[in-house]
Amino acid sequence: MKRRSFIKGAGAALAGSVLIGPQALTQTKIVSQNDKFNIGVIGCNGMGWSNTNSFLKMADVDLVAICDVDNNVIKKRLTDYKSLRKNIPQTYTDYRSLLNNRDIDAVIIGTPDHWHCKMMIDAVKAGKHVYVEKPIANSITECNLMVAAQEKTGKIVQAGQWQRSGPHYKKAIEIVRSGVLGKIRLVKVWAYQGWMKPVPVLQDAAVPEGVDYNFWLGPAPKRPFNANRFHFNFRWFWDYAGGLMTDWGVHEIDIALYAMEAEAPISVMASGGKLAYPDDASETPDTLQAIFQYKDFNMLWEHATGIDNGPYGRREGIAFIGNNGTLVVDRGGYEVVTERQANGYSNWTADKMKPIEAYKKPEELNYLDLHTQNFVAAVKKNDQTFLNTPIRSGSVAAINAQMGNIAYKTASKIFWDPKKGNFGDHADANKLITPQYHNGWEMPVV
């Protein structure tokens, strides 16, 4: 299945607007190996700031701009920054003004998911390179628009799926592709999150001082302010994100499909719900299983909150189950479990397979740092192909995760039509491919 067939016709884009001057598309300089690399961060409360800290471990990277709709977060980050560097970054509450800053070579987008598409496209149109957090967007159409925008502008865009930069993941992928595991018929991907407790129900309240809540909502539906929907917990509400399926799922599905060299599923079905905490404030399911059918194998995703004891005794991971053995990989390392001898199937026995030594990741090795270093190197080479997770490749996991959520929401088995770029005659599923933008915001056009 070719990637261009996968994304074809997945939804029309509406005209968009952005506060960027006419000089934007020609204003960016080529960053040479000897140049200082100037970054700005948009959304710096959580992963946006973690990414920023990772970039600043490189001596040739300077932070020159910080943007957030919450002035309280900006003040906190300026204080934090004093321990990192001596310069004082310029601050913004409107990301479009930041994009007009000609001193900025690249931006980090660390906002809630529902903002990723608009901001990334505006950024590349403004001549900026982009490091965008995962999942790259909150809908299939938005993912495809982002890929198209990168290809049209030629800017360097890395998806924040940093496991791709990890040496032991690369080795695991090499083992999977070598054929030593035999025919792989099933890939399991999972995230069991014992730390996740019930989200307490809170009443709507006044917008906190210093917060531009209307801008935070952006294209999402208009709703009263509720602390549960703000900052970290936005992940558990459909308006802004896709729950654990897109939060953790994108990381694991990314490795699974990249290793298997697969992109578009034939069908998807899902089952689950709020089975652990039925009365808490979140909307997304705390328990979910989704089955993705591909040409030569199935992929099973599952997640559960409040439980750490996942498959193979690992709270998260990927298992490639082959006729000769199973490779299990998580953030701590990998191991290969050889298949037991079965009567009549002597070719499957362990003695036919050379033992593969297990690997444990050194604690001091930081894969996020490797990922940000890879991005800076790609920008200086001006080479999108040098990236470990270029936006086109990174979009595959995000789109598949969105499909899993669509199957869950429609409570049905859905079939992807790669020629039409939709779910065939399934009207309810097709309605969920493209989001509606609200509050005067329009979906960007590429």
Tokens at residue 325, please?
Answer: 């053995």
Residues 280 and 304 in one domain: yes
Name the domain boundary from 324, 343, 363: 363
Residue pLDDT, tens place only, 48-72: 999 999 999 999 999 999 999 999 9
Residue 432 located in a structural domain: no
This prediction's pTM: 0.92
Q: Which residues contact 49 (CB under 8 A, 6 or more apart)?
A: 41, 77, 80, 110
Q: Which residues contact 135 (CB under 8 A, 6 or more apart)?
A: 113, 116, 241, 242, 246, 247, 250, 397, 398, 401, 402
Residues 285 and 372 in one domain: no
Q: Could you tell me which of 311, 259, 290 has the C-alpha nearest to residue 401?
A: 290
User: Helix (H, G, I), strand (E, B), or coil: what is residue 11?
Assistant: coil
Residue 148 located in a structural domain: yes
The predicted pLDDT at position 1 comes to 42
The predicted pLDDT at position 341 comes to 64
User: Helix (H, G, I), strand (E, B), or coil: what is residue 95?
Assistant: helix
Print the domain residue range for 135. Answer: 3-164+368-393
Counted residue by residue, the chain has a size of 446
CA distances from 185 to 181, 228, 336 (A): 11, 41, 16
Residue 437 located in a structural domain: no
Percent of all residues in the chain with a pLDDT value above 70, rounded to a whole number: 89
Residue 186 located in a structural domain: yes
Residue 240 located in a structural domain: yes
Residue 243 located in a structural domain: yes
Residues 55 and 141 in one domain: yes
Mean pLDDT along residues 11-23 = 36
Residues 176 and 246 in one domain: yes
Residue 289 located in a structural domain: yes
Residues 157 and 195 in one domain: no
Mean pLDDT along residues 79-99 = 96
Name the domain boundary from 363, 380, 414: 363
Residues 342 and 372 in one domain: no
Percent of all residues in the chain with a pLDDT value above 90, rounded to a whole number: 88
Instruction: Please report which helix (H) or strand (E) contains residue 412, including its range.
Output: none
Residue 435 located in a structural domain: no
Residues 135 and 189 in one domain: no
CATH number at residue 273: 3.30.360.10
Residues 337 and 260 in one domain: yes
Tokens at residue 423, please?
Answer: 């779910």
Domain count, the chain: 2
Residue pLDDT, tens place only, 320-346: 999 999 999 999 999 999 987 655 554
Beta-sheet pairing, 325-330 with 333-338: antiparallel
State the Cα–Cα distance between residues 227 and 223, nearest whole angstrom: 12
Residues 245 and 320 in one domain: yes
Residues 374 and 388 in one domain: yes
Q: Which residue has the higher pLDDT, 355 or 363?
A: 363
Residue pLDDT, tens place only, 155-182: 999 999 999 999 999 999 999 999 999 9
Residues 318 and 173 in one domain: yes
Q: Is the pLDDT score of 300 beyond 50?
A: yes
Q: Which residue has the higher pLDDT, 134 or 6?
A: 134
CB burial readout 305-334, b (16+ within 10 A) else e: bbeeebbeebbbbbbbbbbbbbbbbbbebb
Q: Is the pLDDT score of 277 beyond 50?
A: yes
Q: Could you tell me which of 44, 116, 120 has the C-alpha nearest to residue 84?
A: 44
CATH number at residue 376: 3.40.50.720
State the Cα–Cα distance between residues 319 and 43, nearest whole angstrom: 34
Q: Worst-scoring range by mean pLDDT, 263-277, 336-350, 397-411?
A: 336-350
Residues 120 and 199 in one domain: no
